[in-house]
Amino acid sequence: MVVLACLAGGGAALAGPAAPRGVDAGAAPKLDGKYERLQEPSTHQPGKVKLTEFADFYCPHCHAFEEALVPFIEKEFSGKVEVNMVGFPVIGGKLPTAFEMYEQARVMGRGVEMKKALFRSIHKDRLHVFDKVIREALIKEVGLDPVAFEAGLASGKPAEALEAGRKLGLRVKVESTPTLVLDGNIKIEGENLNPGNLKTVIASILAKDKKR
């Protein structure tokens, strides 16, 4: 299975050309698989890989990634991979409500549950506008208090978190969704975002921990 991607800016690249895939920067250890080593500090902790997924809730390929590759990763590396999604809108004409709902749910400890509910609502239930009535149903579904949730949305903090995530994505040159960044500086995107390659890279990171 190869995960395709929704291109940012209607297919226009957000940044300049990237470094060749599978080439490490500086003295960083060489890993198996295909990836790009970013000029960013590593956040790696021994025995654990931090996987950051830059995704758009309205991107069908991000939905496919969530339904297929996230469960695959969690099964293959039980307890050894920490998956975190960062909202990165690339599809025009959509309100930021879904992304802000996700950010607020994360603050309240139900980010994963809200992420699943939003992807399902958009791609299976075909709901693209999250008015207050629809929001309340989803908020209750994931086990949160609607009054506290709405107050959090109104505070503006979810919008700030969304903007911070967008800026991070621009900094690491995300050009399409989904794009993964492992441990802060190992980027996997496009045709390299498939089960075999992802498993190879993660296993290589964890194997180097054992050799230390």
H or E stretch at 85: strand 81-87
- In whole angstroms, give the CA distance from residue 67 to residue 111: 16
> Which residues of 139-209 form beta strands (DSSP E)?
176-177, 179-182, 186-188
Q: What are phi and psi of 98, to 5 degrees?
A: -60, -40
Could you tell me how far CA 67 lies from the centroid of its own chain? 13
- In whole angstroms, give the CA distance from residue 190 to residue 71: 19
Q: What is the pLDDT of residues 129-163, one digit of tens each?
A: 899 999 999 999 999 999 999 999 999 999 999 99
For position 148, what pLDDT does the model report? Answer: 98
Domains present along the chain, CATH in parentheses: 45-211 (3.40.30.10)
- In whole angstroms, give the CA distance from residue 133 to residue 30: 51
Q: Which pTM was predicted? A: 0.87
The answer to whether the beta carbons of residues 182 and 73 sit under 8 Å apart is: no
For position 18, what pLDDT does the model report? Answer: 40
Q: What is the pLDDT of residues 90-130, one digit of tens each?
A: 999 999 999 999 999 999 999 999 999 999 999 999 998 89
Neighbour-count burial of 30, counting CB atoms closer than 10 A to its CB (0-12 exposed, 13-18 middle, 19+ buried): exposed
End-to-end CA distance of the chain: 33
Q: What is the dihedral of CA 210, 83, 106, 8, to 10 degrees?
A: 130
Band (88; pLDDT cuts 50, 70, 90)? very high
Q: How many CB atoms lie within 10 A of CB 112?
A: 16
- In whole angstroms, give the CA distance from residue 191 to residue 58: 20
Among residues 208, 92, 199, 107, the alpha carbon closest in space to that of 153 is found at: 107
Read off the pLDDT of each residue in 10-20 and give the average, rounded to a whole number: 38
